[in-house]
Amino acid sequence: GEDSIEEAEGIREEIEWRNANIEEAARDFFEELFEEEEEEEEEEDWDQDAPIYEPPSDDENKEDHELSQISPDFNNQVLPVLDNYCLNCHDSETAKGDIDLESALKRRPFVRDLALWQNVAERIRSGDMPPEGKKRPDDQQALIVRAWIKKDIDAFDYSKVSEPGNVPARRLSREEYNRTIRDLIGLDLRPADQFPMDFTGSSGFSNSANTLYMHTSHLDRYISASETVIDAAMDDEEVWKKITQFGSPENNLKIFMERAFRKPVTQDEWVPIIKKYQSNIVKGKSPKESLGDTLKVILISPKFLMRVEDPPLPGNDQLISHYDMASRLSFFIWSSAPDEELLLKAKKEMLQDPKVITSQIERMLKDPRSESLGRIFAGEWLSTDDVGPRIRKDPIDNPWCTESLMAAMREETALFFHSLVINNEPIKRLIDSDYTYLNEELAEFYRIRGVEGKEMRKVKIDTPQRGGIFGHASVLATTSFPHRSSPVLRGTWILSTLLGTPPPPPPPDVPEIDVDGGRRAANTLREKLQIHRKSKNCAGCHSQIDPLGFALENYSEFGRWRGGVDNRGELPNGARFRGPQGLKMALIDNRLDDLGKQLIRKMLSYALGRQLEYYDEAVVRDIASKLKGAGYPIKDMVLEIGQSYPFTKKRLPLELSHKTKS
């Protein structure tokens, strides 16, 4: 009645009034913030006269040369040292710190436990292990063990191993389901947002097969989603015309099934579907209603919900099937099902031809759907997709931290990475670039003038403060605590996520770092970390972590620029740097190969949908050797991965192959 309408109108006016007040408060907050930051930016950083970057001296490489001159004998030199100084605490029974060297020594090749042995080498180098109070090897014995790890493990000849790996059947991830429905039906409904959350698994990605198992909690959601999707399609005249454009109901059903199942439909699959349609007609339902009910059945079929590849036959490597290749390419680059062109190439048996694969990848990268490489791959690799859902500020105390601002932060990194891919930019542009993507709200947050409107667009950057991902608020918020920046978190993130050289986990019983107090407190954060590092158990790791993190101290916990900080750092090889620009120069000059290999590893893992194994390092190094001369161009990485051995081949695991033959 009129009273209800009047009441609703009053509620609407109240909401609009409150929103206007919130927007006004946010504007006032930004104006005050900019005035404060202008004063703070004028404050000079500590040791302002130090060079931005100093490369390492020749003397710093002396130790690497010394290690390269040692040719240790494992049985007579290495094993006795490990037995005398390590196995008392790290045998299979004791395994202090969850480190079991006894079992690792029985596994061959030793490179299967690459991370473990690299951890051992670093702990010996830094003097962390054996711990104080325990008998310790002399300098020569320590060098012998490190030289063995460097020569026999780090420099392992990967041509000795050849294994494409195995990816089990898995369900579509939430993002894959949403995007597949969008491309199959023509409506961007995102029904999988109501599904249980996906876990990222050991690969770090939500498309990892080892976590995408089917659970009973999914079943009701799948049924509900199929009803929502098909009902919406039936209500949309244009969408329904596209689904039913192929003439008879039988043709419409069969073509829809083949696109949904991503390969030709067998007779065993087809007969129950057509019988379902005919049964509905017999029951008196209209042709449209009967067709809709049958389409719902297709959308709850395991052939739609699961990605199941044709199993390999016993014997040597085999090329994966043309239809499986179509799915591998589409889910890698689009996070969605193959389109008509990919399925047509598969039908013509053309997707085992390297030239055709290359041309299809080139085509797919030009398609807007390739933005999934920025939103999903980069967002999950860099953890920037956590900003908003998991990482946020209290909006009451921080009215500037709006949902739209956090969405723009995520979008900046996604659009930037996608641009690097499609423009085939070298890997160094990931951390040092002269452009980014902004809208008005994010530009105001960064204090960059001249950007208006809500739409994200490419913006030229004329300051080193914001060029590359070290200046992205999404990255800086991800690598901070809720109320302060953290050199330790940021340094660890650079080592682990960007460079693929994670520091060892901290020893047990390490005390927390006391970080209370402001940046200008009597005991600065750097001084507190230096006290923390006086323990030999902590010094080795923090000497690698802290300098990288301190270089980013000009950024607050949510990425605002500030002055008056101690932003100096030094790499273990002696290279010195100051601030974000110095850090970029140091990493490009000293760690570019690590950055390139790490992106290859993460992209290969994402493309395969599984955690990489030791034997995959052969492929990583092969791709790296091809791309190094050009600076690791990123689109070329995608092309190389699409042609790579584990992406195009399959084979039964060795033990299963033997069982099948017997």
Cα angle 99, 101, 102; round to 5: 130
Q: Residue type at 345? A: K
- The reported pLDDT for the residue numbered 519 is 44
Q: Residue type at 661? A: K
SS3 letters for 44-102?
Answer: CCCCCCCCCEECCCHHHHHHHHHHHCCCCCHHHHHHHHHHHHCCCCCCCCCCHHHCCHH
Entry pTM: 0.88
Say how far apart CA 342 and CA 338 lie, in whole Å. Answer: 6
Q: Convert the pLDDT of each residue in 70-94 to its tens digit.
A: 889 999 999 999 999 999 999 999 9
Cα angle 385, 388, 389; round to 5: 75
Q: Convert the pLDDT of each residue in 4-35 to its tens digit.
A: 656 656 666 565 555 555 555 555 555 555 55
Burial class (CB in 10 A: 0-12, 13-18, 19+), 460: exposed
- Residues 311, 315, 317, 318: what is their CA dihedral angle, to the nearest 10 degrees? -50
Q: Convert the pLDDT of each residue in 154-176 to its tens digit.
A: 788 887 888 999 988 999 999 99
- Contact status, residue 441 vs residue 402, Cβ threshold 8 Å: yes
Residues 6+ apart with CB under 8 A from 149: 117, 118, 120, 121
Residues 6+ apart with CB under 8 A from 479: 486, 489, 490, 493, 552
User: To the nearest whole number, what is the mean pLDDT of the chain?
Assistant: 88
Q: Which two tokens stand for residue 481?
A: 């605590």
- Contact status, residue 400 vs residue 30, Cβ threshold 8 Å: yes
Say how far apart CA 452 and CA 456 lie, in whole Å. Answer: 10
User: What is the DSSP secondary structure assignment for residue 570, as one 8-state letter?
Assistant: E
Q: Residue type at 606? A: Y
Would you kindly state where each structural domain of the chain is located, as residue ranges? 2-42, 73-156
Expressed in percent and rounded to 5, the helix, strand and coil fractions of the chain are 60, 5, 35
Residues 6+ apart with CB under 8 A from 334: 179, 183, 364, 367, 369, 370, 372
Q: Residue type at 614? A: Y
- pLDDT confidence tier of residue 521, bands split at 50, 70 and 90: very low
Cα 253 from chain centre: 38
Q: Which two tokens stand for residue 295?
A: 């389409």
Burial class (CB in 10 A: 0-12, 13-18, 19+), 73: exposed
- Residues 272, 276, 278, 284: what is their CA dihedral angle, to the nearest 10 degrees? 170
For residue 387, the cross-strand partners are 391
Percent of the chain at pLDDT exceeding 90: 70
C-alpha closest to that of 178 among 207, 200, 201, 203? 207
Say how far apart CA 381 and CA 261 lie, in whole Å. Answer: 29
Say how far apart CA 316 and CA 331 lie, in whole Å. Answer: 26
Say how far apart CA 609 and CA 377 lie, in whole Å. Answer: 11
Cβ atoms within 10 A of the Cβ of 145, count?
Answer: 23
Q: Which residue has the higher pLDDT, 87 or 125?
A: 87
Q: Convert the pLDDT of each residue in 365-395 to its tens digit.
A: 999 999 999 999 999 999 999 999 888 887 7
Q: Convert the pLDDT of each residue in 199-223 to its tens digit.
A: 988 899 999 999 999 988 899 999 9
Q: Convert the pLDDT of each residue in 558-616 to its tens digit.
A: 999 999 899 999 998 889 999 999 999 999 999 999 999 999 999 999 999 999 999 99
Phi-psi region at 145: left, alpha or beta (left = phi > 0; alpha = psi -120 to 50): alpha
Q: How many helices and strands (H and E) does the chain possess? A: 30, 11
Q: Convert the pLDDT of each residue in 239-271 to its tens digit.
A: 999 999 999 999 999 999 999 999 999 999 999
Q: Residue type at 159? A: S
Q: Which two tokens stand for residue 136?
A: 């310790």
Coil, strand or helix: which one is 391? strand
Q: Which two tokens stand for residue 94?
A: 């004791």
Q: Residue type at 414? A: A
Cα angle 518, 520, 526; round to 5: 85
- Across 492-516, b (16+ Cβ under 10 Å) vs e yields bbbbebbbbbbbbeebeeeeeeebe
**What's the mean pLDDT in 418-430?**
99
- The reported pLDDT for the residue numbered 50 is 73
- The reported pLDDT for the residue numbered 333 is 99
- Contact status, residue 135 vs residue 85, Cβ threshold 8 Å: yes
Whether the pLDDT of residue 540 is over 60: the answer is no
Coil, strand or helix: which one is 129? coil
Determine which helix (DSSP H) or strand (DSSP E) holds 438, and give its type and residue range.
strand 435-438
Residues 6+ apart with CB under 8 A from 597: 500, 620, 621, 624
Q: Which residue has the higher pLDDT, 475 or 162?
A: 475
- pLDDT confidence tier of residue 653, bands split at 50, 70 and 90: confident
User: What is the DSSP secondary structure assignment for residue 107, as one 8-state letter?
Assistant: S
Burial class (CB in 10 A: 0-12, 13-18, 19+), 447: middle
- The reported pLDDT for the residue numbered 22 is 54
